[in-house]
Amino acid sequence: MKLSTSPGVVPRIPSIRRWTIASLLLLAWACGGADGPGDSPPTARAPASAGTVWTIDRADDRATAPGAMLAYLHGLHRVVIDGDHTFAGMTRLRASRDTAGNRLLTLGGGLTATLVPEGDLLQLTFSTGETVALRQEEAK
C-alpha cells in the first residue's frame, strides 16, 4: 500500500468528507494492507518517534557477516520495531509468532526470519541458518 500521492492531483473536497476519507485511509494503513503471497510489500514511512530503532550489534564481526548481508538485502540491518510492526526501510513487515512465541517475519522468496530476545539484544535468525544480533540504538 503506497501512501504517497503526487502533489497537485488531489481534488478539493468538503472538510467533513475529508475527515471521513482520512479516517478510512488511516484505518487501511493501520490494518497493514496486502500481505498475501505475490503482493507487493506494503510501503510506509517509519514512525517518527514510536517504537525503537535496532541495528546490527557488531558490524565488524566476520563470523556473522553472512547474516548481516542477508539483513541488509532485506532492510533488516537497521529497523524500527513498533509493537507487531517492523519497518525495514520503508517496507512494513507484520510479525506473526512462531510456535515458541518468537516474532516471525515473512520476507520475499519464501524466506522467514525470527527475532528472539537474548539479554539486551535481539537475535535475528534466517530460515536459511544465517544469524546476526541486533542492538537497540540509543535515542537521538
Which H or E run includes 26? helix 15-31
- The residue whose grid cell reads 524466506 is 111
Q: Which positions from 18 through 57 interact with another protein, judged by CB under 8 A?
A: 39-41, 43-49, 53, 55-56
112-120 contacts, C-beta under 8 A, 24 or more apart: 113/74, 113/76, 115/81, 115/86
Residue number, 9 or 100, with CB nearest to another protein:
9
Number of CB atoms found within 10 A of residue 44's CB: 18
Binding residue for another protein, selected from 33, 85, 91, 95, defined by CB under 8 A: 91
Measured from the CB of residue 26, what is the shortest distance to another protein in angstroms?
A: 15
Which residue type is seen at 70? L
Task: Pick the piece of the chain touching another protein (CB under 8 A) from 14-22, 59-67, 95-103, 114-122.
Answer: 59-67
Q: Return the range that interacts with another protein (CB under 8 A); candidates 6-14, 22-30, 97-105, 113-121.
A: 6-14
